[in-house]
């Protein structure tokens, strides 16, 4: 009888140890919409319009001598809308006032570990809480913004 009790107790302890170990391991969870909000450094900015020579594709920041160009993107949660952020793009050029562009309210649609970014049912790009990638083309004009969270 003592052997049977010891066997049951050992199995119970092993099961308990397994349960504790399994629940103690942190699972990488899907990102929450709130994780998209934050400050980002723009690492690429590209603009292309069909038929013009004003196109550019820049890896930021750029420094040449005492001149530099850098960019930031701020995503802010929208109060009362858990699946939305507003975005503001700021470009800084040495010796000039910062150029701020309000990108408006962006809807976040979760797809696995990322969010697709939409505005007026037009897909703008993706975000995962660490990076934002915008790549949108409309009426012959394409805009690309790549940014990483700082």
pLDDT, one tens digit per residue, over 112-131 is 999 999 999 999 999 999 99
Q: What residue spans define the domains of the chain?
A: 33-149
Helices (H), the chain: 2-24
pTM, rounded to two decimals: 0.77
CATH 2.40.128 corresponds to the domain 33-149: yes
DSSP 8: H
CB-based burial label for 118 (10 Å; 0-12, 13-18, 19+): middle
Write out 22-57 in H/E/C secondary structure: HHHCCCCCCCCHHHHCEEEEEEEEEEEECCCCCCEE
pLDDT, one tens digit per residue, over 1-55 is 454 545 454 544 444 444 444 444 444 555 688 899 999 999 999 999 988 888 9
């Amino acid at each position: 009888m003592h052997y049977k009790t010891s066997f049951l107790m050992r199995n119970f302890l092993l099961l308990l140890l397994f349960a504790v170990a399994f629940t103690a391991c942190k699972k990488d969870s899907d990102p929450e919409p709130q994780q998209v909000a934050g400050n980002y450094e723009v690492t690429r900015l590209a603009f292309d319009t069909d038929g013009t020579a004003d196109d550019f594709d820049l890896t930021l920041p750029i420094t040449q001598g005492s001149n530099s160009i850098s960019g930031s993107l701020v995503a802010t949660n929208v109060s009362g809308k858990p699946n939305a952020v507003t975005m503001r793009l700021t470009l800084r050029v040495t010796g000039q006032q910062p150029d701020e562009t309000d990108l408006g309210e962006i809807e976040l649609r979760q797809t696995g570990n990322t969010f697709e970014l939409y505005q007026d049912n037009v897909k703008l790009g993706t975000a995962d809480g660490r990076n934002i990638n915008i790549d949108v083309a409309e009426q012959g004009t394409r805009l690309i913004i790549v940014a990483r969270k700082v």
